[in-house]
Structure 1
Amino acid sequence: MLVIALAAVLLLPVGVSSPARAAVPPLGPDFDFGVAQSGFQSEGYNRDSNWLRYGKQGKVEDPVGNAVDFYHRHAEDIDRAASLGVGIYRTSVEWSRVEPTRGHDDPAGWAFYDRVIRKVVDAGMRPMITLNHWVHPGWAVDLGGWNRPGMADDMVAFASRVVDRYAWADPLWITFNEPTEYVRRELQYGGVSPQNLGRMVDGIVAAHRAVYRHIHRVQPGAEVSSNFAYYPIAGLQPWLESIFPQRMRDTLDFVGVDHYYSFSVTDASVAYGALGEFWKSSQAPESIYYVLRHVAGQFPGKPIRVIENGLATDPAGRRPDGYRRSDHLRDTVYWLQRAKQDGIPVKSYNYWSLTDNYEWGDFDSRFGLFTVDVRRDPSLTRRPTDGVAAYREITRAGGVPADYRPTRMPVPCSLVDVPDSCADPAVVR
């Protein structure tokens, strides 16, 4: 099938504008733009956890340290987000901060998140709260982590307290961030043993379902999901979906999508990600269109929200291909508009991330709209990238202009979604 599709694509005009097609209208007032971050990656001053230990044990290149010190600078960072004109602010509540020892909550930890959520609401944005972004407390590690059956129950108990405390803010909820990647990393760093992978997967699914039910009891009309990473690897995605999304589908009020990198028959530079040099991975912004089209087909009738998407640069803010954050933002939003024009129910888009942060092992890859040089700038000054002005223009207009054309034409036969991307390629209108 793939060979046939590859042959067929050679006969198709790739990325050619059709004068018979209509312009691509902006996303409209019912579409929400946002920014995203996670607590552990940005806050600093973290409590004992699996990831704090991975840093201390030398299992990753750099420990997190105090990251970009969102803990003390949250008010100014939230104001920065509001200045972008976004309506959604995604962050997480770190389990280890509010429950540093089992069964004993820390009032100071809760007070911090009280301030964060209140500030987000007062700044005119809707919180999107992630309940688990790959981090769990050190005491849970000592008890066996996801190797033990009781881990799911402890997670549900913690998550329920978060829900009870912040339902007033009418947040959007993410139960588990990229659960497949959570499992993979726990396996990689020794947090879960190979023979207990099934137990961790089952535990996450059970916890998600229990938390989903609790949220809907406490917050009528809530929107709850998990966010799933869509990888640019042909043939892998259906298997990955069977692990979590398909098992959760009746407890997903929307489908949360994370997507960053492309992969095609002519470009396999995504392999640089294995070396941690994500800025060397090429970008084909139309791949988000293929992902959304695939998700809409797999989950008919479900709204879709892009929970994470962004562009990596090196520590100096550069990329070997010269692609700028501002152009990547505009190009991506163009393809979101194309998706909506084609009837795909995409409801929102979060840019990852508001500021540079700790990218799970080092500070090399820079994703922030505001850049922060953790290694060389003790002041942790936030400096706007060219993406800031571009995002403000986008949120003000509800998208890119109807006559906008991407700076990069679609690549032939994207392996993000085969054979569909080969047989029915994305075309710039």
Structure 2
Amino acid sequence: MSFELPHNSSLTKPGFIYGVATAAFQIEGANTADGRCESIWDRFCATPGKVLNGDDGSIACDHYHRLEQDLDLIQSLGVDAYRFSVAWPRIEPAPDQWNEAGFEFYERLIDGLITRGIKPYLTLYHWDLPQYLEDKGGWINRETAYRFVRYAEKITERFGNKVVSYCTFNEPLCTAFVGYRWGIHAPGYADHKLGYQAAHHVLLAHGLALPYMRKNAPEAEHGIVLNFTPAYPYQDTAADIEAVEYSDDADGFWFLHPLMTAEYPARVVQQDAVFMPVILPGDLEIIARPIDFLGINYYSRKVVKANAQGLPEQVHNEHPKTDIGWEIYPDGLTHLTQKMTRRYARLPPLLITENGAADNTEPENGEINDTMRVHYYRQHLLAVHNAVESGVDIRGYFAWSLMDNFEWAYGYSMRFGIVHVDYQSQQRTLKKSGQSWQHFLRQRIAK
């Protein structure tokens, strides 16, 4: 079983990048090893009732101790690139104390990828803020943006142009809104004003860091990764269509719009005026500094209708869903990238930096026949093809995830990997979806 694309699709040509993706806290484990300090996710996991089954990331996939094995595994897939994140708590375990053991781990990772012919795509921040910064207010505190700049400067000084692509932040929406506004992720606050303030400071940190990153790694690409769950109208009415526009502006476009225009979306600013963040003169111009790429994380869509106030209200439907309960809707990826291409003249090239499915198929006779995930990838690759054919500039696609891992507030209950992980033995087993990727990538090379 493999993936099929139309003959001569640009997605099968050599310039299109294929990769797999992970995040440090989700796979590394070794949370007290070699000088690493506590992160907000360590603290969150230790707080009763926050993570399903009381799971934590203390061992996860033990990637920290199994690096060479996992690098060989990545190589065996035949991918062009590997997208990973650096754990800030490994690098700066106390203010202005830079941990050589942390740098050396990621140096082994980066050099190991290069030796194997795999391009390193590095994410600076995938949600694991050092707890000592949270103790001073975390992303609510403007000072954290400046601390991030120093961290970004140190990483890019060390690894420079060995890294092909640097991403400042993965999914600021989750950092700010899910973590500070809705309380589902670390640090677990549920306050609208705190969420908007955190969002502004994350975007400010991104913009502030870019000049230092470009100076230290002038040959690398520098950008950011945003997540989107595009809305669709429940009915074809003016009210529901307007609710869709508000929903999109309050979701991923809340972060994309200022990056492209130096302004926050007006309809949300007006509606949520009481919650708007403190913005200092010049902040929005810093946020809107040019980027070389925009990463898109897409998993699903939502269907909304206008409530009595004209605001979006999500409507549940009976369409097929993945095991986490997210609707399978590949056309949403096509429509989303078309919409942002129409909307922003200065939109940079796009990368699909995460796309995948929770498929909890269990091993049977040593095999994992995760056919739902295989079909999901096939459908979404076709959606990317359709977007490119319509004129959207998409340069690459990263499958989420390389391996089953710690799925944040879901603990270990959801499996997104194309490689199965037995969390007791740490044995890795290539699933049917992983085999499909191998076959697809080999076919591409053969062409």
**2:377 maps to what in 1?**
329
Whole-angstrom CA distance in 1 between matches of 2:400 and 2:16? 17
**1:37 maps to what in 2?**
22
With the length of structure 1 as denominator, give the TM-score of the two structures.
0.80
Whole-angstrom CA distance in 1 between matches of 2:439 and 2:15? 17
Deviation of residue 104 (structure 1)? 1.1
Task: Give deviations 1:145-188, integer Å, cap 9, x for gaps.
Answer: 12322111111111110111111313211111100111123220
**1:359 maps to what in 2?**
407
Alignment of 1:408-419 (within 5 A): none
Task: Give deviations 1:215-235, integer Å, cap 9, x for gaps.
Answer: 212222432221111114342
**2:309 maps to what in 1?**
none
Instruction: Report which structure shows greater RCO (CA 8 Å, sep ≥6).
Output: 1
Alignment of 1:15-414 (within 5 A): 25-27=9-11, 28-46=13-31, 47-58=37-48, 59-61=50-52, 62-187=55-180, 188=183, 189-190=186-187, 194=191, 195-234=193-232, 235=244, 236-249=247-260, 250-263=289-302, 268=317, 278=324, 280-300=325-345, 302-314=348-360, 316=362, 323-361=371-409, 362-374=411-423, 378-398=424-444
Distance 1:184 1:241, change over 3 A: closer
Whole-angstrom CA distance in 2 between matches of 1:317 and 1:282? 24
Letter in 2 for 1:386: K
Deviation of residue 25 (structure 1)? 2.5
Whole-angstrom CA distance in 2 between matches of 1:123 and 1:293? 35
Q: Contact (CA 8 Å) 1:308, 1:350: kept in 2 or not?
A: yes
Deviation of residue 327 (structure 1)? 2.3
Distance 1:155 1:315, change over 3 A: farther
Letter in 2 for 1:120: L
Letter in 2 for 1:252: I
Deviation of residue 23 (structure 1)? 5.8
Instruction: State which drifts further: 78-87 or 352-361.
Output: 78-87
Instruction: State which drifts further: 149-158 or 237-246.
Output: 237-246
Task: Give deviations 1:331-352, integer Å, cap 9, x for gaps.
Answer: 2222222222222111000000
Whole-angstrom CA distance in 2 between matches of 1:270 and 1:233? 15
Q: Contact (CA 8 Å) 2:91, 2:103: kept in 1 or not?
A: yes
Unmatched tracts of structure 1, length 5 or more: 1-21, 402-429
Calculate the aligned-residue CA RMSD, in Å: 2.6
With the length of structure 2 as denominator, give the TM-score of the two structures.
0.77
**1:411 maps to what in 2?**
none
Deviation of residue 326 (structure 1)? 2.1
Tell me the percent identity. 27
Distance 1:76 1:90, change over 3 A: same
Task: Give deviations 1:32-68, integer Å, cap 9, x for gaps.
Answer: 0000000110000123010000011122222222100
Q: Contact (CA 8 Å) 2:67, 2:109: kept in 1 or not?
A: yes
